[in-house]
Amino acid sequence: MKEQSTTKGFAILSFAGIMAKVISLLYVPLLINILGEEGYGVYTSVYQIFALAYVITNTGMQTAISKQVSELIALNNHKDAVKTFKIARSILFALSMFICMIILQFSVPIARGIENEKGLLALITLAPAIVVTSVLAAYRGYFQGRSIMTPTAVSQVIEQLFNAIFTVLFAAILVSRGVGYGAAGGTIGTVLSGLFAAVYLIWMYRKSRIIKTPKSVDLLEPKRLSNGEIVRKLFKYGIPITLSATLQNLGVTIDMIVVRRRLIVSGLSTEQVDINFALLSKYTTLVGVPLALIAALCAAIIPSISRAVVVNDRKTIKEKIGFAFKMSYLVSIPSAVGLAILSKPIYELILKTKGYDMMQLGAVALIFMSIVQIQTIILQCMNKLYLVLISLGTGIIIKIITNYILVAIPGIGVKGAIIGTTLSSLIPMIINNIIMKRTLKMNIGLLKYAVKPTLASILMAAAVILCRVICVSALTLISSNKLFSNALPTLISILVGMIVYGYGMILTGGVTRKDVLSVSPKIERIMPGFMKRKLR
C-alpha cells in the first residue's frame, strides 16, 4: 500500500467521517423513538463515561504511535517503526483491561456519582468496549503514522454502520424490560461494532504487512532503539497528549455531572433533568459532524508535521500549519452558519424534537472548537506538549464556573452549558495563539485564513434563506404534509448552500485549481462549468 499526501489523506478521512456521522444521525432518531427522551438521556450520560475512559486509554497513545512511527520513517528506521507499533499495542491492551476492570468494580458508585442509577447496567455492558477500541487505536495510529489513511477510514465506516444496526436492534429488544435495560441494549452496539472494525484492521495489516522495508534503507544503517527507549518515547508523547485530549473531552463529562446537579438545584425533577440532558446531547451530536472532519484533518497532518519537525524543515512546517488553519476554517465557518440558520428544520427533520434554539446559541462554538483542535495537534507535533495543558486547563476552569452559575438559573437552565462551551473554547484559542507565536517564532494570523470562508458563508447564508423561503412557499401549495414541506426544502437548501459556498470560495480565491487537483483531478471534471471557468 502506498503512502498518501496530507491533502489526499484528509479527503479520505473526511469522506469516512461524513459517512460515519450521517449513519449516526440516521440511527439517533430511531434510538430516541425506542428509548424515549428520558431513556436517551440515560444512554448518553453513560456513554460520556465511556468516551472519557476511551480518551484516557486510547487517544493519547494513538496519536503518540502515529507521531513516533512517522518520525522513525523520516529517519529511515522502518524496523523500529514496526516495533513501536507492536509494543504500543501491548501497552494499550494491558491499560484498557485495567480501566475496564476499574469501571466494572466501581460501576455502582460511578452511576450514583453522575446521578444516573438507571444507567448502571448500561455502564457494565459498555465497559468491554474500552478493550476492543484499544486494539482499534493501535492499528489506526500505525496506519496514520505511515500516512496510509484508507484502512482507518474504512474501519470508521464499518464501526459506525454496525454500531447503528446493533444499537437499534438490542435497544428495541431490551427496552420492554425498562429504560435501564433499553439503554444497556444500545451500548451493546458499541462493543460489537468495535470488534468488527478491529478484525478488519488486523486483516488489512496481515494482508499487506505494511510497509515492506525498502532494501536501500538497510544501507543507511539507522540507529536502532531498544525496547526501553521506545516505551519511554511512547510515554513521553502519550502522557501529555492524553492529558490534553482528556481536558478537551472533559467538558462533556463536566456537562454531565455539573449540569445535571445544577438542573436539580434549579427545581427540575430527575426525569426532567434526563430530558434536558438529552437536548444537550443532541446539540453535541450535530456539532460532532463537522468536528469529525476537523479530527480527520488532525490525523492527516500529524505525520507530515512530525516528519518536518524531526528533520528541522521549517518551510514545510509553515506550509502545513497554514494548510491546517485554512482547511479548518473552510469546514467550520460554513458549518456553523448553516447549522445556525437551518437549526429548526434540521432538528425537526433529523431529531424530530425541540432544542434548535440551543444550536442557534452555540453554533459559533464550533469554529472555536475546531481551531483549538488544530492548535493542539500542531503544538503536540512541535513537541510543545505540556504548554497545551495551560490553555485547555484554563478552558475547563471557565466551563466549570460558567456552568455552575448559569445552569441553576431557571430562565437559562441547560443553555448555560452552551455558553460555557463557547467560552471554554474561545479563551484557549486565544491562549494557544499566543503560545504558538512565542514558541514557534511564527506569525500565526487567525483572522487571515478566516476572511474568505466568512465572505463565502455570508453569500451561502443569503442563498439558503432565499431558497428555503421559495421552496416552502411552493411546496405548501402542493402538499399539506408537514414532513414533505419541511424535508424537501431543507435538503434542497443544503444542496444549494454547498454549491453557492463552493462557488464563493472559488470567486474569493479561497479554493484554487491547485487545491482541487491535490485532492483528485476527478473533482474538477465533475464540477459545473461555471465553477470550472472561475478556478485560478
Confirm if 173 and 235 have CB atoms less than 8 A apart: no
Q: In terms of pLDDT, which residue wins out, 444 or 390?
A: 390
**pLDDT on residue 479:** 65
Q: How close are the terminal C-alpha atoms of the chain, in Å?
A: 33
Angle at 258 between CA 117 and CA 175, to 5 degrees: 30
Please provide the size of the chain in residues: 536
Cα separation, 383 vs 394, whole angstroms: 20
Alpha-carbon distance of 353 to 343, in angstroms, equals 11
| pLDDT band per the 50, 70, 90 thresholds, residue 373 | confident
List all residues 6 or more positions away from 529 whose beta carbon is below 8 Å from its beta carbon: none
Digit-coded pLDDT (tens) for 149-162: 888 888 888 988 99
Ordered by start, the domain boundaries in the chain are 11-215+231-440, 452-532
- Name residues whose C-beta falls within 8 Å of residue 445's C-beta, 6 or more positions apart in sequence: none
CB atoms within 10 A of CB 267: 10
Query: Can you tell me which residue has the cell 427545581?
Result: 267
Per-residue pLDDT tens digits for 97-127: 998 898 888 888 888 776 667 778 888 888 8
Spatial CB neighbours of 17, under 8 Å, sequence gap ≥ 6: 156, 292, 293, 295, 296
Task: Return the amino acid letter for 406.
Answer: L
Q: Is the pLDDT of residue 218 over 50?
A: no
Q: Is residue 136's pLDDT more than 60? A: yes
pLDDT of residue 337: 93
**pTM reported for the whole predicted model:** 0.73
Looking at per-residue pLDDT, the higher value among 383 and 462 belongs to 462
329 or 78, which is more confident: 329
Q: 513 in helix, strand or coil? A: helix
Cell numbers representing residue 455 in the block: 465572505
Higher pLDDT, 534 or 292: 292
* Percent helix, strand and coil across the chain, each to the nearest 5: 85, 0, 15
Long-range contacts of 516-524 (CB under 8 A, 24+ apart): 518/5, 518/7, 518/8, 519/7, 519/8, 519/11, 520/8, 520/11
Residues whose CB is less than 8 angstroms from the CB of residue 255 and which lie 6 or more positions away in sequence, other chains included: 48, 277, 280, 403, 417, 420, 421
The yes-or-no verdict on residue 214 having pLDDT over 60 is: no
Q: And the C-alpha cell for 105?
A: 468494580
At 236 the three-state DSSP class reads helix
Which letter does DSSP use for residue 224 in this model? P
**Cα–Cα distance for residue pair 400/297, rounded to 1 Å:** 29
Looking at the chain, the whole-number percentage of residues with pLDDT higher than 70 is: 87
Cα R_g (the chain), whole angstroms: 23
Summarised one tens digit per residue, pLDDT across range 227-281 is: 888 888 888 877 877 887 777 677 666 766 787 788 888 777 777 777 777 777 7
Tell me the per-residue pLDDT of 274-318, one tens digit each, with 9 for 90 and over: 777 777 777 877 887 788 778 777 777 777 777 777 777 778 878
Q: How far apart are CA 272 and CA 279, in angstroms?
A: 11
Residue 275's region, left for phi above 0, alpha for psi from -120 to 50, else beta, is: alpha
Largest CA distance in the chain: 76
Distances from the Cα of 185 to the Cα of 223, 247, 256, 285, 449, angstroms: 51, 29, 21, 20, 45
